Amino acid sequence: MGDFSSYFFGHLSEVWSGLAVTLEATVLGAAVALVLSFAFGFMANSGSVLARGVSRAIVEFFRGTSLYVQLFWFFYAFPLFFQYQLTPLFCGVLAFGMNYGAYGSEVVRGALNAVPKAQWEAAVALNMTPFQRMRRVILPQAWVQMIPPFTNLLIQLVKCTPLLWLIQAADLTTVVELMRTRTGETTSAYLTLLMLYFVLAYALTLLMNALERHAKSRLGQRSGARSLLRSRSAESTRAAGVTGGAR
Amino acid sequence: MGDALPLLLKGFETTLLATVLGTLLAAVLGLVVAVLGRAPTRLVTVPVRAVTEFVRSTPMLVQLVGAYAIFNTVEPLVIGVAVLGIHYASYVSEVYRAGIDAVPKGQWEACRALSMSPRRTWQAVVLPQAVRNVLPALGNYGISMFKETPYLAVITVPEMVSQAREYGATHFVYAEMFTLAGLIFLAASYPTSLLMRKLEKRLGH
């Protein structure tokens, strides 16, 4: 253990740069996923058969083919088809964003449907435009419901980022792997790496808890300060139901 | 290109084998974890919860590569199945736990009143009610496990994607092989997920 930890703390700047790549892929991937979630989620709820069909097809395609295959397709097959090589990080952001966007769209769809029908009707009765209805009545209520399953998807996304190592992006796993080969300390290297991901996942969970509390307080619902420190365990089964197979 | 498909299907067999064995392991291990989580002493429940939380919150790829490097004398497929099973057990245990929590308190009390042993209480009363609802969730986790089996390629298990990669690299048909592998995943996982959705509806979820 001694060897590895002294090497690790002696080369912290490398760890930071790896962590930065991992975080970059996470944040950008999550941003793409969020946009796609809403786009496909709204399309799945729209009145037009065409929009519903397109959304269904895209969502099922990205949920049905493995993320691993999608990522490798973007990295290895895309250049052969289109004569253009994407950077590893860009491939990651694209694959993570599309894959989790597909899962997220189910969350958005479910949450929109979960807002009581009377709320939609009341908004219509008040002569609100469809945009006002969404913006002022439906979305604030649906958003609160979306956050816990979104948190789960975000953690799943973080847990997929080590795939970047396989397409030669210099992410956290790549950096610690290099340290492992240099020091030859397998067990402590991997334990350290797992701990780093654990801390990262927990930090993101806390952030999302704060977001949920904020969204709830806007609806006049109070949640105790203890809810901020909650881990995801209690929510994961519910999310499994909502996302239909996302872990 | 003609000999590519048989090769992919051979890899597909390994993929399926890993998925089925992994799901079975997750189902059994998840149940054990859920029951242990209900143990009367914190000496058991706290470590069990800590370990599942850790396994659930860390990347499976790192767990897989780590286990492969540490247990380097064990057959890769065995390591792959074990890591898949343990990782998914941490999710499945939550499903069992919710199922156990849903068993009404009166059932436990009735068992006590009848002075049933804890073992009989679990076996005859609690688990039959709790496990019923687990099946659709287990199926869904099985599907997502299926889509994560390509990770096993990293530890040299000859599953479908590693076959595709190898063949693609020697015959310069990388793009075609990866596209084909993706389509096979879609062809297998989509009907299964439709089936699971039907099952869920029937059980009233």
Here the ipTM equals 0.88
Locate the chain A residue with the closest alpha carbon to B95. A237
* Residues in B 12-71 with any Cβ partner in A closer than 8 A: 49, 52-54, 56-63, 65-66, 69-70
What's the pLDDT score for residue B204? 62
Question: Cα distance from B76 to chain A (closest Cα, Å)?
Answer: 17
The chain-wide mean pLDDT, for chain B, equals 90
What's the pLDDT score for residue A73? 92
Q: Which two tokens stand for residue A6?
A: 């002294």
How far apart CA B36 and CA B93 sit, in angstroms, is 10
What's the pLDDT score for residue B1? 63
How far apart CA A123 and CA A140 sit, in angstroms, is 13
The conformation of residue A112, written as its DSSP 8-state character, comes to H
Q: How confident is the model at residue B190 (pLDDT cuts 50, 70, 90)?
A: confident
Question: Cα distance from A159 to chain B (closest Cα, Å)?
Answer: 4
What's the pLDDT score for residue B165? 86
What's the pLDDT score for residue A80? 87
Say whether A64 and B186 touch across the interface (CB within 8 A): yes
CATH number belonging to the domain at A4-241, selected among 1.10.10.60, 1.10.3720.10, 3.30.200.20, 1.10.10.10: 1.10.3720.10
Q: Which two tokens stand for residue B69?
A: 């490097």
Chain B residues within 8 A of A64 when measuring between CB atoms: 185-186, 189-190, 193
Residue B176 has pLDDT above 50, yes or no: yes
Burial A7-24 (b: 16+ CB within 10 A, else e): ebeeeeebbeebbebbbb
Q: How confident is the model at residue B148 (pLDDT cuts 50, 70, 90)?
A: very high
How far apart CA B125 and CA B116 sit, in angstroms, is 10
The conformation of residue B105, written as its DSSP 8-state character, comes to H
pLDDT along chain A (247 residues), means of 10: 82 93 97 97 92 94 92 91 92 96 95 94 94 93 94 95 93 93 91 96 94 90 76 51 40
B24-51 average pLDDT score = 93
Contact in structure between A232 and B90 (CB atoms under 8 Å): no
How far apart CA A239 and CA A208 sit, in angstroms, is 15
- Dihedral angle sign, alpha carbons of residues A172, A177, A182, A188: positive
What's the pLDDT score for residue A240? 43
How far apart CA A44 and CA A61 sit, in angstroms, is 15
This prediction's pTM: 0.89
Say whether B57 and A201 touch across the interface (CB within 8 A): yes
What's the pLDDT score for residue B198? 85
What's the pLDDT score for residue B102? 87
Contact in structure between B151 and B60 (CB atoms under 8 Å): yes
B86-93 average pLDDT score = 95
Q: How confident is the model at residue B205 (pLDDT cuts 50, 70, 90)?
A: low
Chain B residues within 8 A of A67 when measuring between CB atoms: 147-148
- H helix or E strand, kind and range, residue B59: none
Q: Which two tokens stand for residue B18?
A: 């890993």
What's the pLDDT score for residue A124? 93
More confident residue, B121 or B174: B121
